[in-house]
Amino acid sequence: MNNLHAIYLLPARLRYFLIALICMIIVIFVYWQDILPLKRAFAVSQQQEKQLIQQLQKLSYQEMSLEEKMAQLPETKMMLSEWQKKFIKHSDVNKLLKEIISISKRDKLQVKLFDAAPVSQENRYLKQPLKIILVGEYAQTTHFIEQIAHLPWTVVVESFALSRLLPDKTSRLFLTELELNVYTPHN
C-alpha cells in the first residue's frame, strides 16, 4: 500500500503522465486484442461483399438474358415449325423429282443425267443426294436454279459447275452440273 501512496506523492505532471501512459497501454492492448482482429475480419467481409456483388451482377445479367430468350421462344418455335414444314415428306420425294424434271423441260434444258445417290442419315434427317447434268443457255439455267430455290421444300445446292459446251466463245450452250441434297425427317 505504501507504493500506491508513493504515487500520490509524485508531482501532478508525472501522475498525469503515468495515468495517460497506463490508459494508452490499455487502449493499445484493447486495439491489438479486440479492434485489430475486427478490422481484419471487416476487410475480409468487404472483399467477400465485392465478390458477392460481382456474382449478383453476373446472375442478374444472365437472368435478363434468359428473360430475353424466353420472350423470343414463341417466335423461335414458330420459325422452327415453319422451317420444318419445308422439309419434304418421304412419300413426296418422287413428286419433287418429277417437279425438278418438269422445271427443266419448261426451261427447255436437256437433262443429260439425273441420278439419285443412296440415302444417308444426317442427325435427325435423311439426306437424298441428287446429281443433275443439264445442257442449255445461261438464262435458262439460271431460271432453272432460281425455280429450284423457290420450291416449297428445302433443296440444298451442294455444288454447282457451269462450263461452255463448246470451247469457242460464240457458243450459247452451257453444260451445268448440279449436286442437290433433299432432306426428309427421319421417323
> What 3-state class would DSSP assign to 22?
helix
Beta strand ranges found along the chain (DSSP E): 110-116, 120-122, 125-137, 155-164, 173-185
pLDDT at position 40: 87
pLDDT digits (tens, 9 = 90+) for 132-149: 999 999 899 999 989 988
Confidence of residue 7 (pLDDT cuts 50, 70, 90): low
What lies within 8 Å, CB to CB, of 173 at 6+ separation is: 135, 136, 137, 164, 165, 166
What lies within 8 Å, CB to CB, of 141 at 6+ separation is: 107, 109, 134, 162, 174, 176
4 pLDDT above the threshold of 70:
no
Report the C-alpha gap between 110 and 132 in whole angstroms.
10
Q: Which amino acid is at 136?
A: G
Would strands 155-164 and 125-137 be described as parallel, antiparallel, or unpaired?
unpaired
Yes or no: is domain 90-185 CATH 1.10.260.40?
A: no
pTM here is 0.55
Confidence of residue 48 (pLDDT cuts 50, 70, 90): very high
pLDDT digits (tens, 9 = 90+) for 85-139: 777 777 778 888 888 899 999 999 999 999 888 888 887 888 889 999 999 998 9
